[in-house]
Amino acid sequence: MSKLLAAGWKSVSLVDVVEHPSFTLWLCGCNLMCPFCHNWRIAERDSKICKWIDIAEILEEVVASRFLVDYLHVTGGEPLMQYSSLRDLLTGAHRAGLMNSLNSNLTLPVKYLAYLVEAGVVDHVATDLKIPPSNLFGLPEKSTLVLWRNYLESLKLIMESETPLELRIPLHKGLTVEVLRKYLGEVLPYISRNETIVVLNQLIGEPFTNPRNPAWCREYCGVGEELVKAIVEALSDVGFKKIVVRSIPGFT
Q: Residue 36 or residue 71: which is nearer to ligand SF4 going by CB?
A: 36
**Residues 197 and 167: beta-carbon distance below 8 Å:** yes
What is the rounded CA–CA span in Å between residue 39 and residue 158? 25
Q: Measured from the CB of residue 34, what is the shortest distance to ligand SF4 in angstroms?
A: 3
Question: Would you count residue 252 as binding ligand SF4 (CB under 6 A)?
Answer: yes
Question: Would you count residue 81 as binding ligand SF4 (CB under 6 A)?
Answer: no
Question: In the chain, what are the helix, strand and coil shares in percent, each to the nearest 5?
Answer: 40, 25, 35
Residue of 204, 199, 217 lying closest to 249 (CA atoms): 204
Question: Would you count residue 102 as binding ligand SF4 (CB under 6 A)?
Answer: no
Q: Residue 98 or residue 199: which is nearer to ligand SF4 going by CB?
A: 199
Q: Measured from the CB of residue 3, what is the shortest distance to ligand SF4 in angstroms?
A: 20
DSSP alpha helix (H) spans, the chain: 40-43, 55-65, 83-95, 110-118, 133-136, 141-160, 177-187, 214-220, 225-237
**Which of 5, 7, 34, 62 touches ligand SF4 by CB under 6 A?**
34
Q: Site mask, ligand SF4, residues 38-77, x = CB under 6 A?
A: -xx--x--------------------------------xx
Question: Would you count residue 196 as binding ligand SF4 (CB under 6 A)?
Answer: no
